[in-house]
A and B are shown apart, each in its own frame.
Chain A
Amino acid sequence: MNNYRNFRINIPEQPRDLVEIDQPTMDDGFRGDLMPGVIPLGASPELSDVRFERGGIRKDFGWSRVGNAASSRILGLIEHKFIEDGQTFQRLVRITRTAAGNCQLEVWDSATATWIVDTTSTETIRDVLLSTISIQGQLLIADGQQILARSETRPLIAASNDFTPGNSIGVVGESATAILSPAGAVAGEYEINYSVDITLNTGTELTLVLSFKHEGVEFATRSYHVAAGSASWNHETLLAELEAADGDEIAIEIKSIDVTGINRSSAFVFQGHNETLQWRAVKSFAAEAVNDLYYLNFELRVEDGHEVTLGFYYDDGINAIKHGELTYGPGVWRNAYEMLLDGATLSYRFGISVESATGGALSYSLIPSNVTWTEADVDIAVHGFNEETDADAAAGVEYQIEGADAGTFGLISADAPAARYLASFGDRVLALHDDGDKQALSWSADGDITTWAGDDTGTIFLVDARIDPIDDLMALAPLGSNFAVLLRKRSIMRVFETGNIVQSIGAVHWIEGIGTESPFSPTTVPGGVIFLGHDYQVYYLTENGPVPVGGPVQQTLIETVPANLHLVDATYDPVFGEYWLGIPENGASNITAAWIFDFKHFRETQQLRWRKRSLSAWRLATASKV
């Protein structure tokens, strides 16, 4: 008998033709659901810490530490948002258990890059992963034996700083200043008080522009216009948003004064050839030229082959001063020489002189015409308020600072259940807890999360199990605006408001055979909730039902997560549209890897693209401000 009849010997054919595989993309993600011989050539049976970009692979993003280490493991990590006195606060909070067993909150302070102990409860908490939500201005924490509530109340305290006593500015470049102390205004809002007086003695129009500066940097301007006569603004207020520190300077500065004045001119008294300085025109009006500008108008003819240099002079009554000179070649020049002078001098004489002429007197002809200027007389007084010395109606800069915290941290209510899982639903808190051997769902009053007894509150016991005796209540998540989902170990229920104050919340069975044993895996994503099912499938649950999206990783999860499913945590990155599923591999007592599902890519292409990151963590979270 030939034992080898089913084998054929392939004689090596050296060399056979090359076979080429051209794979244009490499971003199909991880595929653990098929044998490596049949998965797409752009997918991978094994990957770690890569991400997909431009159809290819690259090293995944890195990470950095946020401040110092906590004194013990972090049981909860959440961004707590609340509104106080019209201001929105975002607190990144990490929650630990002290050596004495109390619950301690630490808040990230980005200004000092430190974690600051916010407060410590006198209540002891269990050393378990905590369920946390931020609702109605309070941070709620459940550990299975209670609900703790942290409410932060910071009364606002008025603060103010004056400008220099007796300040009054009226010339371009002048400024009045105030020093901020202690600064640190809530939301950076400062009110700057000042007055403006303008008298237009001569001229037809005036526009005054004020510049407001913080530490020398302009952050706002304001304009004031006067058509004739005088005008006063006795109490002006500018609202500014500034990141100011103690000791910073606020200044009001006159940026520009634009006046439409009366046109004046004075004729030169002699015209003709003259190589010596002759005073030709006199400004004798007792008012200033606008911007102190004067124009010396003349006509100069220079014969071919020659050059003439003219000197331009003024006399302030003490000295004859050459302002400048210019050289002209052949041709006819009808020019206006611009002369900027000191505005404080009321009377000037002006002259034009032939400094040199290459061809002598016969090589040119100079005809000085006149001196022109625009005349205006204005009085401007801008005053930064000083309440203390000048008795102005308000302080120069007024703002509000946060007072000391007058909030509380403790049991939300003596009537609240010993919750181990919390969710917000409408204006209520839903709580899952164990009551002996019963599984219970409780809810607070609508709009009042501190009330857990009486009308509009309640508890229902959900002990029935249809297809599996192990059907504990595991997690809650709002799904759309009309109902929430209650995820049990083997089924999913709908939770809804009944509209009946006697039984405000109802719960009905919805989906059988799909549940979760990972209460922190459900995460709200656009259009629904993603969670790790009890069968290690990952589901995208919408109002239309569950859609399995974890096919590529299900078998791998079965093989690598044999225990500690309660340690699974998840979060959603709305920037890249990714669902992060943190898992403890091979019986680990913490998260050792994150499987990342590209939810955005799924919504666009229906493709299930997963990748993996290695990390060692207790909890995952997303925050909008770090």
Chain B
Amino acid sequence: MTAPYLPSGQSQLPANRFVLFAGTDNRVHRVDESLLTKDGASFDAVWESPTLLRAQEIAGRIITISRILLYYMASADTTITVDGSPDGGENWTVSRIVELSKTDGGTRTVSVHLGVTGHDARFRIRLLSDDLVVVHRYRAYLIPRGGLEYV
């Protein structure tokens, strides 16, 4: 293994240090910016949104996350998974595998129809493939519904 190593997109990085850890498999492991696997095995990266019910006029209501528009960059044609939860992440009742197209330095968008309804509706993004995907913006489309409200 030779230094320096450079992660994609950061060609000028003065990388000359390595984070290491002694694993419970009694091996030393080196964090490698050029890899998207752990010892060659894929791993899941997960980002969960906060509660999306924010607007004052619909506070306390039930909402439906109609769809999510994601802005992304991808190193290859690949997929990500977007899940929807009506109850703050206790149950993920909707799961969509979303196909992404390779981007060449620019940004693309993809619309994900979730249709998940609840008091604490959220979504989460799971990056499962070994292709580099950066999701850097989202736009959520919500539909207020009825429901019992304590006054």
Contacts and interface: CB of A to CB of B under 8 A. Distances in A.
Interface of A: 6-13, 15-16, 18-27, 31, 35-37, 39-41, 43-50, 53-74, 77, 92, 94, 96, 108, 110, 113, 115, 571, 573-575, 580, 582, 590-591, 614-626
Interface in B104-151: 120, 122, 124-125, 127, 132-151
Contacts of B22: 73-74, 77, 94, 617-621
Interface residues of B, number: 79
B29 A64 contact: yes
Contacts of A36: 50-51, 88, 120, 122
A15 B32 contact: no
Given A21-B140, A74-B22, 14 more contacts: A19-B63, A26-B138, A45-B48, A45-B50, A48-B44, A56-B135, A56-B136, A62-B32, A62-B35, A66-B28, A77-B22, A108-B28, A615-B21, A626-B18
A109 to B, nearest CB: 11
A273 to B, nearest CB: 69
Interface string B74-97: 000000000000001100000000
B97 to A, nearest CB: 16
B50 A64 contact: no
B127 A66 contact: no
Contacts of A49: 43-46
Interface of B: 1-3, 7, 9, 13-33, 35-40, 43-55, 58, 61, 63, 66, 71-73, 88-89, 120, 122, 124-125, 127, 132-151
Contacts of B32: 61-64
B18 A623 contact: yes
B23 to A, nearest CB: 5
A74 B66 CA distance: 51
10 contacts: A26-B135, A56-B71, A58-B132, A60-B45, A61-B33, A63-B30, A575-B14, A590-B24, A615-B29, A618-B22
Which 10 pairs across A and B sit closest by C-beta, in order of nearness? A56-B136, A62-B35, A74-B22, A12-B146, A46-B48, A37-B51, A10-B146, A617-B21, A59-B45, A49-B45
B36 A62 contact: yes
A47 B122 CA distance: 13
Given A25-B137, A626-B20, A19 B144 contact: yes
Contacts of B134: 53-54, 56-58
Contacts of B144: 13, 16, 19
B120 A573 contact: no
Contact of B47 (A24, A57, A113): A57
A64 B34 CA distance: 10
A260 B141 CA distance: 83
A19 B14 CA distance: 45
Contacts of B28: 65-67, 74, 77, 92, 94, 108, 115
Given A19-B144, A44-B48, A580 B54 contact: no
Given A26-B137, A94-B22, A625-B3, A41 B54 contact: yes
Nearest to B9: A53
Given A7-B150, A23-B139, A56-B135, A618 B46 contact: no
Contact of A67 (B16, B27, B63, B71): B27
A50 B53 CA distance: 24
Nearest to B145: A12
Nearest to A596: B19
Given A36-B88, A48-B44, A64-B39, A7 B151 contact: yes
A73 B29 contact: no
Given A575-B15, A626-B18, A616 B135 contact: no
Contacts of B16: 575, 624
B27 A61 contact: no
Contact of A65 (B14, B29, B44, B48): B29
A73 B24 contact: yes
A57 B73 CA distance: 10
Contact of B1 (A61, A580, A617, A626): A626
Contact of A69 (B18, B25, B33, B149): B25
Given A37-B53, A618-B23, A10 B149 contact: yes
Given A7-B148, A10-B148, A63-B39, A48 B24 contact: no
B20 A621 contact: yes
Contacts of B37: 62
A42 B43 CA distance: 23
Contacts of A46: 46, 48, 89, 124
A21 B142 contact: yes
Contacts of A70: 26-27
Contacts of B71: 56
A59 B65 CA distance: 25
Given A36-B88, A46-B124, A623-B18, A63 B35 contact: yes
Nearest to A18: B141
B72 to A, nearest CB: 8
Contact of B27 (A39, A40, A69, A626): A69
B26 to A, nearest CB: 4
B150 A582 contact: no
Most chain B CB inside 10 Å of its own CB: which residue of A63, A64, A110, A591: A63
A50 B3 contact: no
Residue from B22, B44, B47, B124 with most neighbouring chain A CB atoms (10 Å): B22
A616 B23 contact: yes
A413 B25 CA distance: 34
A58 B80 CA distance: 11
A19 B58 contact: yes
A622 B44 contact: no
Nearest to B71: A56
B45 A50 contact: yes
A590 B146 CA distance: 48
Nearest to A48: B46
Contacts of A10: 61, 146-149
A64 B122 contact: no
Contact of B38 (A35, A63, A574): A63
Given A24-B137, A57-B47, A620 B20 contact: yes
Given A10-B147, A69-B25, A69-B26, A47 B19 contact: no
A50 B20 contact: no
B35 A64 contact: yes
Nearest to A62: B35
B68 to A, nearest CB: 10
Contacts of A77: 20-22, 28
Residue among B15, B134, B147 with the most chain A CB within 10 A?
B134
B35 A54 contact: no
A62 B31 CA distance: 6
Given A11-B146, A65-B29, A69-B26, A582 B21 contact: yes
Given A26-B135, A66-B29, A624 B17 contact: yes
Contacts of A620: 19-22
Given A9-B148, A18-B143, A73-B24, A571 B1 contact: no
